């Protein structure tokens, strides 16, 4: 199946989403026709191996795609990036299992790496695998997905977790089909309302060993994209969405400023010194954070392409650049929201939606303040476990 250029696809999806942002927010997950439109455009296949019909795209393609969509709607962009990064799991599977889970061009994947499940070894009808139970939070995009994944600790008969080679409990990503999953309607939140990031659960589900890869210990397909750590790519997606929200906020404020005269002032907002200062700061924050992100991703890609691996330093820099981008984008959105004055609080204003969305994105563990501590330890030469970097 052929797909359009990803940037043209992102623009096409953004046009389809624009008149439906209120519907998406009220629905609390993407309408299936919107999700299917993204699938037809290939946006959920950005990180699926080419051998399975995926696009196996450069990570900066995800940044471009998510930014363009997030300028219009953060929830839609978030679901696209989750679908894309979830597809990376296909690179850890055999050709047979990868085709079964990700081969359908219309298949949408979603998953939560956090090990909220437990899995015990079991052999069923001669097939080795795991008996899995668990409940996961933050299942973004799962309401639209056919393939749903959840991290699980592997436990022995004594209930204690098995240990991986890296010295951490063995955590494997369990690949489920939609019919094996129970959804809980928990997603009633302040921002990113349309992502459907609800809880999901499985009870006594058997997962064959071939569909239970370790994204830490197992080796993926030997291609440049899959040299990037799963956590780094997840952070890149979050950064991309927030940079798009920042750009959308700047655009909205500039459009507003030419026609709005603040109460108590005789000058349009665009002629006020405070507006000029803050728009400039927001622009610099957004563009400099994006430039830093681009620099670090391109450096890692060059190493992956030439050496077949990226270093701990590359992984460190990706995590730092993504977390910094989220912080810078949030500051830019806040500046624009404040400049908008009373207009910003109305549901009709994109500024209030971008403000709510970006402040939910900041709460993701991949871009939390703990990242600065982790990367700081590495800069300072302090012994650090980098298995989850």
CATH of the domain at 179: 2.40.110.10
Could you tell me which residue, 88 or 1, shows the higher pLDDT?
88
Looking at the structure, tell me whether residues 141 and 192 fall in a common domain. yes
161 contacts 153 by C-beta, under 8 angstroms:
yes
Determine the average pLDDT of the residues in 46-64: 97
Q: Is 48 in the same domain as 117?
A: no
State the pLDDT at residue 265.
66
Question: Are 238 and 317 members of one domain?
Answer: yes
pLDDT given for residue 333 in this prediction: 98
Q: Same structural domain for residues 126 and 73?
A: no
- Which domain-ending residue is among 185, 211, 237? 211
pLDDT digits (tens, 9 = 90+) for 290-336: 999 999 999 999 999 999 999 999 999 999 999 999 999 999 999 99
Residue 157: pLDDT band (50, 70, 90) is: confident
Beta-carbon contacts of 53 under 8 Å, excluding residues fewer than 6 positions away, are 1, 45, 103, 105
Over residues 101-116, the pLDDT tens digits come to: 999 999 999 999 999 9
- Of 92, 123, 140, the last residue of a domain is 92
* H or E element at residue 363: none
Cα-flanking dihedrals φ and ψ of residue 5, to 5°? -50, 135
Computed from CA positions of residues 271, 273, 277, 278, in that sequence, does the dihedral angle turn out positive or negative?
negative
What is the mean pLDDT of the segment spanning 31-36? 98
Residue-range definition of the domain harbouring residue 293: 228-379
For 18, the token pair is: 């624009």
> Do 84 and 157 share a domain, yes or no?
no
Residue 268 lies inside a defined structural domain of this protein: yes
Cβ count within 10 A of residue 373: 11
Q: Identify whether residues 77 and 139 lie together within a single domain.
A: no
Percentage of the chain surpassing pLDDT 70?
A: 99
Token pair recorded at residue 178 = 């939609």
Q: What is the CATH number of the domain that holds 304?
A: 1.20.140.10
Domain boundary among the residues 211, 244, 273 is at 211
Whole-model pTM: value is 0.96
Whether 163 is in a domain gets the answer yes
**CB crowding 349-371: b at 16 or more within 10 Å, else e:** bbbbbbbbbbbbbbebebbeeeb
Residue 263 confidence (pLDDT) above 80: no
CA distance 282 to 232: 25
Region class of 155: left (phi > 0), else alpha (psi between -120 and 50), else beta? beta
Q: pLDDT averaged over the chain? A: 95
Assess if residue 63 is contained within a domain.
Answer: yes
Residue 185, Cβ density class (10 Å: 0-12 exposed, 13-18 middle, ≥19 buried)? exposed
Give the strand order in the sheet containing 182-184: 171-177, 147-155, 109-124, 127-139, 198-208, 182-184
Is residue 388 assigned to a domain? Answer: no
Question: pLDDT tens-digit profile of 69-126?
Answer: 999 999 999 999 999 999 999 999 999 999 999 999 999 999 999 999 999 999 999 9
pLDDT-derived band of residue 166, with 50, 70 and 90 as boundaries?
Answer: low
| pLDDT on residue 38 | 98
Task: Provide the 3-class DSSP secondary structure of residue 48.
Answer: coil
The domain tally of the chain equals 3
pLDDT, tens only, 181-238: 999 999 999 999 999 999 999 999 999 999 999 998 899 999 999 999 999 999 999 9
pLDDT for res 266: 63
**Residues 265, 333 within the same domain:** yes
* Same domain for 123 and 74: no
Is the same domain home to 245 and 337?
A: yes
Count of H-run helices and E-run strands, the chain: 11, 6
235 occurs within a structural domain: yes
Shared domain for 161 and 87, answered yes or no, is no
């Amino acid at each position: 199946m052929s797909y359009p250029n990803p940037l043209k696809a992102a623009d096409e999806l953004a046009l389809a989403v624009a008149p439906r942002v209120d519907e998406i927010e009220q629905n609390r997950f993407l309408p299936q026709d919107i999700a299917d439109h993204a699938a037809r455009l290939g946006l959920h296949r950005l990180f699926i191996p080419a051998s399975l019909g995926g696009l196996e795209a450069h990570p900066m393609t995800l940044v471009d795609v998510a930014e363009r969509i997030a300028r219009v709607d953060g929830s839609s962009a978030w679901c696209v990036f989750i679908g894309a990064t979830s597809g990376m799991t296909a690179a850890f599977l055999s050709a047979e299992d990868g085709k079964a889970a990700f081969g359908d061009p219309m298949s949408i994947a979603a998953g939560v790496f956090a090990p909220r499940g437990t899995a015990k070894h079991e052999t069923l009808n001669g097939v080795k695998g795991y008996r899995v139970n668990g409940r996961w939070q933050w299942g973004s995009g799962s309401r639209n997905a056919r393939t749903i994944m959840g991290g699980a600790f592997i436990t022995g008969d004594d209930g204690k977790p098995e240990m991986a080679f890296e010295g951490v409990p063995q955590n494997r990503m369990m690949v489920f089909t939609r019919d094996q999953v129970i959804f809980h309607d928990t997603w009633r939140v302040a921002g990113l309302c349309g992502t459907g990031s609800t809880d999901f659960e499985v009870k006594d589900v058997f997962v064959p060993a071939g569909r239970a890869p370790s994204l830490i210990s197992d080796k993926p397909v030997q291609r440049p994209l899959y040299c990037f750590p799963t956590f780094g790519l997840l952070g890149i997606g979050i950064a991309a969405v927030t940079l798009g929200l920042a750009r959308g906020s700047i655009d909205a404020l500039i459009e507003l400023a030419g026609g709005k005269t603040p109460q108590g002032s005789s000058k349009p907002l665009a002629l006020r010194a405070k507006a000029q200062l803050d728009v400039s700061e927001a622009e610099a924050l957004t563009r400099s954070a994006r430039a830093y992100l681009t620099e670090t991703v391109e450096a890692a890609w060059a190493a992956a392409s030439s050496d077949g691996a990226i270093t701990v330093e590359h992984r460190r820099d990706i995590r730092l650049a993504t977390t910094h981008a989220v912080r810078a984008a949030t500051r830019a959105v806040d500046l624009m929201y404040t400049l908008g004055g009373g207009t910003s609080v109305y549901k009709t204003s994109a500024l209030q939606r971008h403000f709510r969305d970006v402040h939910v994105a900041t709460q993701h563990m991949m871009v939390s303040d703990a990242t600065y501590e982790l990367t700081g330890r590495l800069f300072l030469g302090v012994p650090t476990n980098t298995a989850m970097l």
